[in-house]
Chain A
Amino acid sequence: MALRPGTAWIVPGLLLAGCAALVIGSLQSSLFAQQTISGLANGGIYASLAVALVLIYRATEVINFAQGAIATFTTYVAWQLIDWGLGYWPAFALTLAIAFAGGFAIELVAIRPVERRGHQLSVVIASIGLLILIEGAIGYIWGSEIKFMPAPFPAHVYRVGGVAFSRQDLATIAISIASVVLLWLLFQFTKVGLAMRAAAVRPEAARLVGIRVSWMLSLGWGLAAMLGAVAGMMAAASPTTLLQPSMMDGVLIYAFAAAVLGGLESAAGAVVGALAIGVTLNLLGSYVSWVTPQLLLPAAFVLMLVVLLVKPSGLFGRTRVRKV
């Protein structure tokens, strides 16, 4: 942690205060409770994509601008599989596998050769190129008219003491949390997870103990694409989002903001940041009359700027000490 000892309580304190405010508000008002839950559901979607960004940032120190487009593409793949007659969950699983293979292949074909040759900036440019290429491919294959993704669950509303929770929201929260937790388990408790972390923090030393660092990077892209696919499928299942080529553009901005808020290097920070952004924006949108949906995206930008100016290492980031 980069925090000085005297200020170490500020971040946990703020988070705790925020949680307390949400709980108290939810007990006072059922509308507040509903808006909090649907904010958390949005936040869950941002979190999956934000963690994907963090994953790649930690391995290559580059923001993958194509992350949203990859997520949209894989969501179209899911739509196509369902359209061909596959059930929702088999299509979901197959899409994850395709996303993994696709992410892996993208790193191999489009990123590795560029990275080997030099500059991080070239990797950024390659990722922007990918964004344009993939969005173009979506339009070419599926056209630009809106598709309707079937919902994984029949619409249902749970009522708890006068508060209505939609099954959709709850499922979105559960699935995003589950995917992030699974990823954490992979990194923390498996040999390949440990090797991926080692390759990310000390590539030279990792090669000396026999880790194939470049494969670990491809693996990271595969996993990131999988998380993106989860985010895309969750977003498309929400009644307010329609499956179209630009579906994830806004989500990507919120995910950026969340990752920056969390410090870009911390997956936990990105999750907390994403949930905070999801809830805050949702509550702002429903309680502050002049905050229209058009203002939410700029608000995310402002937040990102403020974090970068005030505390560039984010809420959970550590300042890296580099040996030259």
Chain B
Amino acid sequence: MPLLALRDVDARYGQVQALRGVTLTVEEGEIVAILGANGAGKTTTLRAVSGTVRRSGTIELDGRSLARSGPERAARLGVAHVPEGRGTFSELTVWENLRLGAHTRRGALKDDFRRVLGYFPWLEARRAQQAGTLSGGEQQMLALARALMQRPRLLLLDEPSLGLAPLVVAEIFRIVRELNEREGTAVLLVEQNARTSLATAARAYVLEVGAVAYHGTSDELGERDAIRRSYLGY
């Protein structure tokens, strides 16, 4: 049984249908990328999983249905959604952001802080700083750190490279791969940069106007010239 399974998922914003019958799976511990042009429904697919958009169809995490519940329950079941704009609580401190990441968990957080600081040692010195005053790259890393505090089974990552310098992007993707290898966290990744996505993900789905146009392993998709030229833009 896959960790995440979407079958025939529709989603709409008011009158506008954003997803039409999307079917996809993410296996335990797998990194899967969603590719496609602007407006193809990439972000909406993530929002359908976390329950931040009106949707219908089957959405199961580990066999438990998410289709009728909101983001609070998805978070409780182990879905960490780092949205566009990173979901930073910019008015609160760095440390408070981390504590909020662990909101669904009980018990002491000492080990979690230690684990997070293993990935992002610089957070310790900045713990009392207001999160909104961090740079864009730092905020993206804080968002990953916050998600890590949740001990998620599935990480939904939306455009982590948006507005960041190439070096910072490389660093962030390195950390995502490391998280995936060491913690076994599955990742569903939405990313404009197809080359980086395919280098990170094992498999990918290409969306076209709200429906899955192609899917396959990253190697397959990268090799097919037609797909590469029309959808991946390189």
Mark A residues whose CB is within 8 Å of B: 191, 194-195, 197-198, 201-202, 204-213, 323
Please determine whether A198 and B52 come into contact, CB atoms closer than 8 angstroms.
no
A204–B96 CB distance below 8 A:
no
The secondary-structure label for the interface of chain A is: helix
Known contacts A205-B83, A206-B100, A210-B72, then 15 further A-B pairs from the complex at CB < 8 Å, ordered by chain A residue: A194-B92, A197-B91, A197-B92, A201-B89, A202-B90, A205-B88, A207-B71, A207-B72, A208-B50, A208-B52, A208-B71, A208-B81, A209-B75, A209-B150, A211-B103
Query: B76 on the interface (CB 8 Å rule)?
Result: yes
Report the minimum CB–CB distance from A246 to chain B (whole Å). Answer: 38
Partner of A195, one of B83, B87, B88, B103: B103
Instruction: Say which residue of B70, B92, B150 sits within 8 Å of A207 (CB atoms).
Output: B70
Q: Does B160 lie at the interface of the complex (its beta carbon under 8 Å from any beta carbon of A)?
A: no
- What are 29 A-B pairs at a CB distance below 8 A? A191-B99, A191-B103, A194-B92, A194-B100, A198-B92, A201-B89, A201-B91, A204-B52, A204-B83, A205-B87, A206-B89, A206-B100, A207-B52, A207-B70, A207-B75, A208-B50, A208-B71, A208-B75, A208-B81, A208-B87, A209-B100, A209-B101, A209-B150, A210-B71, A210-B75, A210-B103, A210-B150, A211-B72, A213-B72
Please report the C-alpha to C-alpha distance between residue A93 and residue B81 in the assembled complex, in whole angstroms. 42
* Chain B residues in the interface with A (C-beta under 8 A): 50, 52, 70-72, 75-76, 81, 83, 85, 87-92, 96, 99-101, 103-104, 146, 150
The binding surface of chain B is classed by DSSP as loop
- CB-defined contacts of B89 to chain A, threshold 8 Å: 198, 201-202, 205-206
Cα–Cα distance between A136 and B39 once the two chains are bound (Å): 54
B146's partner among A197, A201, A207, A209 (CB-CB below 8 A) is A209
Name which residue of chain B comes closest to A320, CB basis. B91
A197: which B residues are within 8 A, CB to CB? 91-92, 96
A209 touching B103 by the CB < 8 A rule? yes
B75: nearest chain-A partner, CB-CB: A210
A211 to B104, CA, bound (A): 8
The listed residue with most A CB atoms (<10 A of its CB), out of B50, B75, B76, B85, is: B75
Nearest CB on B from A71, distance (A): 29
Chain A CB within 10 A, most for which of B71, B72, B96, B100 = B100
Complex: chain B residue closest to A211, CB-CB: B103
